Amino acid sequence: MELDFERCYRAVDSRDPRFDGWFYTGVTSTGIYCRPSCPAMTPKRQNVRFFPSAAAAQGAGLRACRRCRPDAAPGSPQWDVRADLVGRAMRLIADGVVDRDGVPGLATRLGYTERHLHRMLRAELGAGPLALARAQRAQTARILIETTGLGLAEVAFAAGFGSVRQFNDTVREVYGGTPSELRAGRRGPAAATGAGTLSLRLAHRPPLHAGALLDFLALRALPGVEVVRDGTYHRGLRLPHGPATVALTPADGHIDATLRLADMRDLAPAVARCRRLLDLDADPVAVDATLAADPALAPIVAAEPGVRLPHAVDGFELAVRAVTTQQVSLTSARTTLTRLLAATRPTGGAGSDDPADGLVAFPGPAEVLAAPDTAFRMP
């Protein structure tokens, strides 16, 4: 992917946060890479290189800036809208497919050869699938180091590394310090949460119309799977290594996320699915500007900026919801799906002070297939 030097440099010089995640700034004189909005002094032109991904910057021998934490920036909006090979590959890498199945598994899922996949990712992002997955493992490791009390060996395997040595080498190379140094320098103590519970912040580009997101999700919430209560969205998830629940609360400039995981290896997939559900990688300024060009929409956009397009945490669930809702009204569809849920598993959460208690994931294909015909009453 070609990056226009002048446009990128202007974004860096103005410290424009809208470009965070679109590209990364490498400073050859210091050996670090930053997000465009980094508050540090603007580097000289001759010392700057621009990269389309954090993995490409790491491949050039640069380490992440500890001041702006470029790996924590919102992701590129391209992966939400692109349906081509690269877009699909990036979504699967974010979901941890390379960590679980390797590059051969990723290529099989996409229906291409490993060689062609590597060539396309290198051309678009400056890094192959292994390097992109490695960059994600490093980010997951940093989150676990700085927000949990897990032992460093546990962090290594939870983040997807094959060995503690590989974990130590990668963290040292990407962040310029050992895992123990990162833990010693974390901002405040780890949150006091239960076993398997993590609290973290999900970044997004402002503005965010939180009310529209929560209203959309509340209107479609299915009992026992999801609930919106007191400004927080709770739901059950089915992740590669076990079940989980998540609580998502819009806050000032970010989303507070509390994850209850059966297996810490599911952190990266859980974060990726929550980000996609809430459309957190979108560029709302660009979206609003495009919609506001229509005279009929301009007043609405001005009154309600930052509206997102919610996605889903599971493709099969989305397909079932889409078919059901297209056949009948939204209200009737909820009734139909609630009956299906009751036939496939017990409804949870009732009578508990904690809205997350008893929440489970939407039934998978095998569970729906095994349900009697009377459980799925469609016209």
Are 205 and 282 spatial neighbours (Cβ–Cβ below 8 Å)?
Answer: yes
In whole angstroms, give the CA distance from residue 295 to residue 56: 42
Closest to 375 (Cα-Cα) out of 330, 347, 337:
337
Asked if residue 187 has pLDDT above 70, the reply is no
Enter the pTM of the model.
0.88
Q: Which of 72-86, 247-261, 341-355 has the lowest mean pLDDT?
A: 341-355
Task: Please report which helix (H) or strand (E) contains residue 221, including its range.
Answer: none
- State the Cα–Cα distance between residues 333 and 340, nearest whole angstrom: 11
**What are the structural domains, with CATH classification, of the chain?**
5-69 (3.40.10.10), 78-184 (1.10.10.60), 197-375 (3.30.310.20)
**How would residue 174 be classed by pLDDT, with cut points 50, 70 and 90?**
very high
| Tokens representing residue 106 in the block | 């990723």
Q: Is the pLDDT of residue 328 over 60?
A: yes
Per cent of the chain over pLDDT 90 is 75
Mean pLDDT, residues 249-270 taken together: 93
The residues near 19 (Cβ < 8 Å, ≥ 6 apart) are: 8, 11, 36, 37
**pLDDT class for 188, splitting at 50, 70, 90?**
low
Residue that is written with structure tokens 């017990």 in the block: 346
For residue 1, what pLDDT is reported? 59
pLDDT at position 207 is 94
The percentage of residues in the chain with a pLDDT greater than 70, rounded to a whole number, is 94
Confidence at 148, pLDDT banded by 50, 70, 90? confident
pLDDT for residue 170 is more than 60: yes
Q: What average pLDDT does range 42-50 have in this prediction?
A: 95
The residues, any chain, with a CB within 8 Å of residue 98's CB and separated by 6 or more, are: 92, 105, 106, 129, 130, 132, 133
pLDDT tens per residue across span 193-212: 556 788 889 999 999 999 99
Over range 291-300, report the average pLDDT: 96
- Amino acid in position 262: A
The pLDDT value given to residue 222: 95
| pLDDT interval class at 93 (50, 70, 90) | very high
State yes or no: pLDDT of 349 exceeds 50.
no
Mean pLDDT of the chain: 90
